[in-house]
Amino acid sequence: MKTQHQWWEVLDPFLTQHEALIAFLTFAAVVIVIYLYRPSWSVCNVPGPTAMPLVGHLPLMAKYGPDVFSVLAKQYGPIFRFQMGRQPLIIIAEAELCREVGIKKFKDLPNRSIPSPISASPLHKKGLFFTRDKRWSKMRNTILSLYQPSHLTSLIPTMYSFITSATHNLDSKPRDIVFSNLFLKLTTDIIGQAAFGVDFGLSGKKPIKDVEVTDFINQHVYSTTQLKMDLSGSLSIILGLLIPILQEPFRQVLKRIPGTMDWRVEKTNARLSGQLNEIVSKRAKEAETDSKDFLSLILKARESDPFAKNIFTSDYISAVTYEHLLAGSATTAFTLSSVLYLVSGHLDVEKRLLQEIDGFGNRDLIPTAHDLQHKFPYLDQVIKEAMRFYMVSPLVARETAKEVEIGGYLLPKGTWVWLALGVLAKDPKNFPEPEKFKPERFDPNGEEEKHRHPYAFIPFGIGPRACVGQRFALQEIKLTLLHLYRNYIFRHSLEMEIPLQLDYGIILSFKNGVKLRTIKRF
């Protein structure tokens, strides 16, 4: 029979292995906890709801959708913490603080933070929107020079031609039309001509049946709709939200497995990049020098400026050109759909809008840039109120370049600071009865407009990082609405849900589209 000492000799190696395993598991657990929670420790002094392990506050986003930040602002005040998985965001939900971040302290927060949907897509990451530091500054200065008022004025006849062609088929008997789709085709055609010098032929009287063009646009739409900011994106994007360190390794694996969403996104982006590179290469070889489209002007700037040649390499030209296609189509189509949907549900607004438009003159008269700016004040109010009601970009991303104090909180370098423009637009302090559609709230002679904070409504962003194409977009929106309301009125389709459901991504979109009944006026 073994003695007690002999038993310990037998068990000692097993105990040592067991202790080592416990030590390893303990160490691994500590590493995981540190990895998951370390980012939030540096901003734990900023108030916010208790975050769930791994997913953070994403369940709140699933529950409230885009309104989640308004809900949290009411509870925690104008600056609070929101965790996108493990990544903490400092949400700014007050107009003066937005001015502080976007303008006064721009040098401390000059770049946009790059969320997981973008980090997985070089095509999107290399555009002006997410480019950083000196490269962004040079790209911006070059691109701004392309949006001179004289150039925008010269685009009016082209824009109007596309608009009249796209709406030609509305002249038949009253019928239900998915205007969100129609507007996406129209705005893609317009920006295609302005950015690429290419007529995609999507919205004409006889749409071009070009398989390559159709394929390109389908890929463009698919690529855009996959930029999700919740748990409905691809697996690699979901991992990027939850465990960023795993995003790229899993993406490299999943993009090679046919049928996965990452595989489809990878194929789509690769084909888009290839087609864009072909367009850029072809245009660079052309001898014509009188073309005024965006791509031609970028290429000319690259050839005339040695520094620009290093900035606008082929991949960056493709990315920034595609970015213009995205920014100039999806966002503008969303706003146009919003206006028609809201006005068709408010007949008093429609009546006043029609009076202003009819008073301009003959229905065939094309307005000048001066006309658009000065002769349609109520149309301006309607557009602004629609953009407030449905803010297409409810969040604007920034990232601290060094330690900086915002709203009394010291934020370390690398902190993601996001401006909640959608919250500002629904704040009753600046917009009484925010749930109501009231264009007159933007009347420059009204008390509400006079007393509102100047940065309570900033749909195109703020400071040097604001949208460079906002004048282009507004010109296109006004011309489209003028032509439509000169000839038609619209009513909600019985097949459309009310209120409209939204998809929450890098930009907002209508989940099931906007379907309206078209009625010819004359």
Task: Please check whether residue 476 is in contact with residue 159, taking contact to mean a CB–CB distance below 8 angstroms.
Answer: yes
**Reduced to 3 states, what is the DSSP secondary structure of residue 399?**
strand
The answer to whether 234 and 242 are in contact (CB under 8 A) is no
Closest CA to 111 of 397, 468, 321, 393: 397
Angle between helices 294-304 and 261-285 (to 10 degrees): 60
Burial class (CB in 10 A: 0-12, 13-18, 19+), 19: exposed
Angle made by CA atoms 141, 142, 146, in degrees to the nearest 5: 110
HSE of 376, CA atoms in CB hemisphere, 13 A: 26
Cβ within 8 Å of residue 60, ≥6 positions away: 49, 68, 71, 72
- Residue pair 419/102 in contact by the 8 Å Cβ criterion: yes
- Residue 44 labelled as part of a binding site: no
Show the CA angle centred on residue 230, arms to residues 227 and 234, nearest 5°: 55
Cβ(109)–Cβ(399) below 8 Å = yes
Tell me how far apart the alpha carbons of residues 309 and 299 are, in angstroms, rounded to a whole number: 9
Inter-residue contact 453 to 96 (CB < 8 Å): yes
CB of 54 closer than 8 Å to CB of 36: yes
Collapse the DSSP code of 79 into the 3-class scheme (helix H, G, I; strand E, B; otherwise coil) and give the result. Answer: strand
Q: Can you say whether the dihedral through the CA atoms of 146, 152, 155, 161 is positive or negative?
A: positive
Structural contact between residues 463 and 102, judged by C-beta atoms closer than 8 angstroms? yes
Residues making up the annotated binding site are 467
Residues making up the annotated binding site for heme are 467
